[in-house]
A and B are shown apart, each in its own frame.
Chain A
Amino acid sequence: MDRLKTFSVKHFKKLVLVFALISFGFNGYAQPDGEKLFKANCTSCHKANDKKLVGPGLKGVRGRWGNDDAKLVKWVQNSQAYLKTGDSYANNLFKEYNGSVMPNQTVSADEVKAILDYVDSYVDPVVTTTPPTGDPGTTSPEEPTNWTYIWIGLGLFFVILIIILAPVRRNLANSAQAKQGKVYNPDSTFWGETKAWIYSHKKPVMLLGFLVFLMLFVVGWNALSGIGVYEGYQPEQPIKFSHKIHAGENKINCQYCHTGVEKSRHANIPSANVCMNCHKYIQEGPTTGKGEIAKIYAALDYNPEKGTYGPNPKPIKWIRIHNLPDLAYFNHSQHVKVGGVECKECHGPIETMDVVQQFSPLTMGWCINCHRETEVKADSTNLYYTDLKAKFNAVHPGEKFTVEQIGGLECGKCHY
């Protein structure tokens, strides 16, 4: 009786355990979340597919370790201790990765198993990328060209029509005049007729001539004043790097890449190693897919599959947009670091541009205007100018302390 009782209690306990397991299994909160754990602990070095990152891709890792989860748990929890057991696979792996140590992970055995289950079930998401024709950067420059040809074609058509029809009209007019018994002039030419018409309509012709002259003057004036001014220059770059994505959506600070802006005359075009700070991990872009990022890899001779650099890097031939003439000197650090000018004051809303264009005219008038209007930041962070401002205001009380007042219009500041 006693025995029977204990037996049933044991059974009851087992039953409860099984029931609990099943119900927990269905609710899904007793089991550790493999995906979450993987993303929190592993993604900085491992991918769930077969691609190498810092460490090997984890696809098929169970098979490589002889389907022994216990071994993997030990390795993950303390890889250096596991190496000492003399496991040949682990030691070879350690050698293959040049002795880079996998840091000890504070995960339980169950959590490691959950991560492995997640890796087993992982399938690379299928990424659909928009075809290059949908890119606004490539279509917009072509459009005006098409329209130009249409207008030229139409113009040519009408000119030819006039040339063909002019003699016909003249003959008709002549014969009509002859019928009415008026003077018939068989030598009448197009030019002669036009001249006669001009003499008989002096006032309207003069007005028309004046209007045409005015139009040509305005057009010519605009064309001439645009010489050497590149405002709106928006060339296609060899890599479709989008400032809209990087500076706009991802809010990467301008200086993260243009590091020279506070230290040097140049703001710096970043070298490709700066791209790799993120693009070692991000191998696919949201609009152009893998194609454009692959151009960085090609320039660096980098193999994203193996994560290794080759011996033949090639420079990327970016097209320079802001071409200040050599006769003028400009220094970024003086304006940004000393003057505290924001990038966008001259470069405009870069964070909205897929293809960057020159926002400011960069003419001398534009420079001078800003130097006349801008007050020097002479606050406590800029003690040199604080002192200078006090001295200036002692002589010129109440006057604005502009860049002009500290010699910002001296010829030799920019031209030397």
Chain B
Amino acid sequence: MGLLVAVVSTGAFVALEGCKSDPASPGFEYMPDMYRSASYKAYEVNPNFADSMEARLPVKGTIPRGGMYTNYTPYEYPNTNEGYEAAGLNLKGTIAATPAVIAEGKRLYEVFCVHCHGEKGDGQGWLVTSGKFAGVPSYSGQLKDLPEGKMYHTLMYGKNMMGSHASQVNMTERWTIIRYVQTLQKGGAMPTDTTASAAKDSTKTK
């Protein structure tokens, strides 16, 4: 009898203790087959692929259509010095520098660029001033006359210590950011007349 009491009390104790949540365990699920369907989810392990990744890249040469990819054009300049120079000479953005575009560009710039390139585009972002990163050029200094095609090329492939941001911003976003960066090249003044600034941009890059 005593043994039974001991087993029951110990069992109850362990059961109660077991209710303490362990942060590394997700806990229990009731009928998990209803919670988790058999299909592969975006980031799951998929044994059908050699690298076991369910997340796949599009097939080479695939062109996205519609939605945010309306007017998508494949990028044809190669990741070489010649490609960089050619992009600088020939590549022009399709998005005009309207105040709305530049405001959106500023928002995107503050997400993707500002920590290194700085709020004024002077290359003095907080990662540079804190000494964690170094060697970021100033848009209004060294890169004052950088044509937009070269900017786009740099966003696509990266340059020097800057990595490629092509996986983070799509075509439209790249040009939107570039329109804002062009205002930083000129000292950060927001354009007032849209047609004038767009015309200035196209002459400047020629």
Given contacts A276-B163, A314-B51, contact A227 B132 (CB under 8 A): no
Residues of A within 8 Å of B170, CB to CB, are: 263
Interface contact B111-A44, CB-CB below 8 Å? no
Interface contact B51-A315, CB-CB below 8 Å? yes
- CA separation between A43 and B135, bound complex, in Å? 5
Say yes or no: is B134 at the interface (Cβ < 8 Å to chain A).
yes
Residues of B within 8 Å of A163, CB to CB, are: 2-3, 5-6
Interface contact B1-A234, CB-CB below 8 Å? no
Given contacts A229-B27, A233-B27, A250-B132, contact A325 B161 (CB under 8 A): no
Residues of B within 8 Å of A256, CB to CB, are: 111-112, 115, 168
Scan residues 11-43 of chain B and give those whose CB is less than 8 A from a CB of chain A: 13-14, 16-17, 19-30, 34-37, 39, 42-43
**A219 to chain B: closest CB distance in Å?**
6
**B199 to chain A: closest CB distance in Å?**
28
Chain B CB within 10 Å, residue with most, of A42, A141, A281: A281
- CA separation between A140 and B34, bound complex, in Å? 33
Say yes or no: is A228 at the interface (Cβ < 8 Å to chain B).
yes
Q: Name the prevailing secondary structure of the B interface residues.
A: loop
Given contacts A190-B2, A227-B29, contact A151 B24 (CB under 8 A): no
Say yes or no: is A399 at the interface (Cβ < 8 Å to chain B).
no
Could you mark each residue 151-162 of chain A with 1 if its beta carbon is under 8 Å from any beta carbon of chain B, else 0?
110011001101
Interface contact B167-A141, CB-CB below 8 Å? no
Q: Which residue in chain B gives the minimum CB-CB distance to A46?
A: B135
Interface contact A99-B10, CB-CB below 8 Å? no
Residues of B within 8 Å of A64, CB to CB, are: none
Interface contact A315-B17, CB-CB below 8 Å? no
Interface contact A219-B16, CB-CB below 8 Å? yes
Scan residues 315-345 of chain A and give those whose CB is less than 8 A from a CB of chain B: 315, 317-318, 320, 323, 325-327
Say yes or no: is A232 at the interface (Cβ < 8 Å to chain B).
yes
Residues of A within 8 Å of B45, CB to CB, are: 317
Cβ contact of B137, chosen from A44, A156, A166, cutoff 8 A: A44
- How many residue pairs bridge A and B at CB < 8 Å? 158
- CA separation between A43 and B116, bound complex, in Å? 14
Say yes or no: is A23 at the interface (Cβ < 8 Å to chain B).
no
**B100 to chain A: closest CB distance in Å?**
11
Residues of B within 8 Å of A263, CB to CB, are: 68, 170
Interface contact B134-A277, CB-CB below 8 Å? no
Interface contact B24-A226, CB-CB below 8 Å? no
Could you mark each residue 173-201 of chain A with 1 if its beta carbon is under 8 Å from any beta carbon of chain B, else 0?
00000000000000001110000000000
Cβ contact of B24, chosen from A40, A53, A236, cutoff 8 A: A236
Given contacts A152-B14, A317-B45, contact A277 B165 (CB under 8 A): yes
Say yes or no: is B70 at the interface (Cβ < 8 Å to chain A).
no
Interface contact A44-B35, CB-CB below 8 Å? no
Given contacts A152-B14, A234-B24, contact A44 B163 (CB under 8 A): no
| Number of residues from A at the complex interface, CB < 8 A | 72
Given contacts A250-B115, A269-B43, A317-B45, contact A43 B134 (CB under 8 A): yes
Interface contact B163-A280, CB-CB below 8 Å? yes
Interface contact A253-B169, CB-CB below 8 Å? no
Interface contact A233-B23, CB-CB below 8 Å? yes
Say yes or no: is B164 at the interface (Cβ < 8 Å to chain A).
yes
Scan residues 235-284 of chain A and give those whose CB is less than 8 A from a CB of chain B: 235-236, 250-253, 255-256, 259, 263, 266, 269, 271, 273-274, 276-278, 280-282
Q: Which residue in chain B gives the minimum CB-CB distance to A223?
A: B19
Say yes or no: is B195 at the interface (Cβ < 8 Å to chain A).
no
Residues of A within 8 Å of B14, CB to CB, are: 152
Say yes or no: is B72 at the interface (Cβ < 8 Å to chain A).
no
Say yes or no: is A148 at the interface (Cβ < 8 Å to chain B).
yes
- CA separation between A271 and B55, bound complex, in Å? 10
Say yes or no: is B127 at the interface (Cβ < 8 Å to chain A).
yes
Residues of B within 8 Å of A318, CB to CB, are: 43
Say yes or no: is B62 at the interface (Cβ < 8 Å to chain A).
no
- CA separation between A236 and B23, bound complex, in Å? 9
**A141 to chain B: closest CB distance in Å?**
5
Cβ contact of B28, chosen from A159, A222, A228, A327, cutoff 8 A: A228
Say yes or no: is A9 at the interface (Cβ < 8 Å to chain B).
no
Say yes or no: is B136 at the interface (Cβ < 8 Å to chain A).
yes
Given contacts A141-B24, A230-B26, contact A159 B35 (CB under 8 A): no
**B29 to chain A: closest CB distance in Å?**
5
**B129 to chain A: closest CB distance in Å?**
12
Given contacts A189-B1, A253-B111, A271-B167, contact A233 B134 (CB under 8 A): no
Say yes or no: is B77 at the interface (Cβ < 8 Å to chain A).
no
Say yes or no: is A409 at the interface (Cβ < 8 Å to chain B).
no
Residues of A within 8 Å of B134, CB to CB, are: 39, 43-44, 281
Say yes or no: is B160 at the interface (Cβ < 8 Å to chain A).
yes
Residues of B within 8 Å of A259, CB to CB, are: 167-169
**B152 to chain A: closest CB distance in Å?**
17
Say yes or no: is A378 at the interface (Cβ < 8 Å to chain B).
no
- CA separation between A229 and B26, bound complex, in Å? 8
Interface contact B35-A228, CB-CB below 8 Å? yes
Residues of B within 8 Å of A109, CB to CB, are: none
Interface contact A230-B135, CB-CB below 8 Å? no
Residues of A within 8 Å of B2, CB to CB, are: 162-163, 166, 190
Say yes or no: is B52 at the interface (Cβ < 8 Å to chain A).
yes
8 A-B pairs with CB atoms under 8 Å apart are A44-B160, A44-B161, A162-B6, A233-B27, A250-B126, A253-B111, A277-B162, A281-B134
Nearest first, the 8 A-B pairs at minimum CB distance are A44-B135, A277-B163, A234-B23, A43-B134, A43-B135, A325-B35, A163-B2, A159-B6
Other 7 A-B pairs with CB < 8 A, given A148-B20, A235-B23, A326-B36: A227-B28, A230-B27, A233-B23, A256-B112, A271-B167, A280-B161, A315-B51
